[in-house]
Amino acid sequence: MRGRSATKGRIRGKDKELGADLVGILNLKDYDSPRSPDPHRYLATAKSIIVLAFKPLARAYYYQ
């Protein structure tokens, strides 16, 4: 378990470096999305999904 915790810590450190506001890590054993393709279709050996969330830039959708 210690290795997994260290890996999660490195991921969470990297998300801050990339400027993400939130990070989520999902075990693929728990993934159930009937409307989405199976992630193993693209990455056969994947065990987790990492999701990074970013706040929208201020005025990013503002047009003059």
The residue range of the domain holding 44 is: 2-53
How far does CA 12 lie from the centroid of its chain?
10
What is the DSSP annotation of the chain?
A: -HHHHHHHHHHHHHHHHHT-SEEEEEEGGG---TTS--GGGT-TT--EEEEEE-PPPTTTT---
Q: What does pTM read for this prediction?
A: 0.65
Taking only the tens place, the pLDDT of each residue in 3-49 is 677 888 888 888 888 888 988 888 999 988 899 888 989 999 999 99
Please tell me the predicted confidence (pLDDT) of residue 59.
Answer: 66
Please tell me the predicted confidence (pLDDT) of residue 44.
Answer: 92
Residue 10 lies in a domain: yes
Residue 40 lies in a domain: yes
Greater confidence, 58 or 53? 53
Residue 19 lies in a domain: yes
Number of domains in the chain: 1
